[in-house]
Structure 1
Amino acid sequence: MAGIEGGCRCGAVRWRLEAERLPLTYACHCLDCQTWTGSAFSQQAIVAQDRFQCTAPVGRFDLPSADGRRISHQVACPACFTRVYNTNSSRPGLVMIRAGTFDDSHRLAVVAHMWTKRKQPWLTIDPQVPAWPEGPPQAAEFFRLIGAPPVAS
């Protein structure tokens, strides 16, 4: 199987995804993502954890989710602090790779937008691309749309 690679800004952390083609991505415009990225939105790909391998030690930090129960595990380069990927206890077996860390990030396609009620007013979203004011109403449909592995029960 072919591999797709990426890494942090300084090159200390590299990762590899076993896949034949680049995964589809989504953009989240929520205030947390704007703060975490220092930008208008975050863009990420959801992939199966068993197909993803990080090839260097990383720094981890935990953030409680909005409901205060689930913990998101944010993973960053300990040298340059680039957020590389994250996992979330509400989505076991999945990894959310930060789009900007793909070596071929310029080739990624955004196929959905969420939390558009928080998007920056200057940003125009293609009306042909599915978008939701908050999170997508049906998780299974969202995961199908972005080509992500099914959510584990």
Structure 2
Amino acid sequence: MDRIEGGCRCGSVRWRISCERLPRTYACHCLDCQTWSGSAFSQQAIVARQRFECMGQVGRFDLPSADGERISNQFACPVCFTRLYNTNSGRPGLVIVRAGTFDASHQLEVVAHIWTKRKQPWLTLDERCPAWPEGAPQTDLYRLIDVQPVVDPPRA
């Protein structure tokens, strides 16, 4: 099994994913992602938590959803403030890694777009790439990016 690596801009925090190939990514065009990224969208990869390892001290910011049903835990470098990844109580066992923090970010493939009703009007999307005006159904998104959701084992 290969290791894919990345980290923050200053090098204080590094991460590693144990996998056979670069993960597929999706682009989110929601207003939160535009604000957090300082750009027109954010590009992300979802990986199993057990395959992800972070080296170095990270800062954490917990953000509750508007409905109070989920908590998103944001992790960033406390030195250069690069947003590295997050976890979400709505996606247990998974880590959402910011694509720009991959060492090989230029090789990542975007296979889906979500929240396109908020995309910048000057941005043209490839019509062959699946897109949703809001969030994609989780099973569709996981299938496209080839992530298997982690399921709790049955209780005895």
TM-score by length of 1: 0.97
Are residue 122 (structure 1) and residue 141 (structure 2) matched?
Answer: no
> In structure 2, what is the Cα distance between the partners aligned to 1:43 and 1:127?
18
- The 5 Å alignment of 1:80-91 reads 80-91=80-91
- The 5 Å alignment of 1:54-65 reads 54-65=54-65
> In structure 2, what is the Cα distance between the partners aligned to 1:112 and 1:152?
23
> In structure 1, what is the Cα distance between the partners aligned to 2:97 and 2:48?
10
Q: Which runs of 5+ in 1 are unaligned?
A: none
Write the letter of the residue equivalent to 1:60: R
Instruction: Look up the match of 1:145.
Output: 144
Q: How much does 1:150 deviate?
A: 1.9
Instruction: Look up the match of 1:103.
Output: 103
- The 5 Å alignment of 1:1-153 reads 1-136=1-136, 138-152=137-151
- Kept in 1: contact 2:93–2:149 (CA 8 A): no
Runs of 4+ in 1 over 2 A off after TM superposition: none
TM-score by length of 2: 0.95
Would the alpha carbon gap of residues 6 and 52 (structure 1) be closer, same or farther in structure 2, given more than 3 Å must change? Answer: same
Aligned length: 152
> In structure 2, what is the Cα distance between the partners aligned to 1:151 and 1:44?
18
Alpha carbon RMSD of aligned pairs, Å?
0.9
**Structure 1 counterpart SS, 2:125:** coil
**Structure 2 counterpart SS, 1:90:** coil
- Kept in 2: contact 1:28–1:41 (CA 8 A): yes
> In structure 2, what is the Cα distance between the partners aligned to 1:151 and 1:54?
19
> In structure 1, what is the Cα distance between the partners aligned to 2:48 and 2:69?
23
Deviations 1:41-89 (A, max 9, x none): 0000000000000011100010111212311000000100000000001
- Kept in 2: contact 1:34–1:42 (CA 8 A): yes
> In structure 1, what is the Cα distance between the partners aligned to 2:144 and 2:29?
18
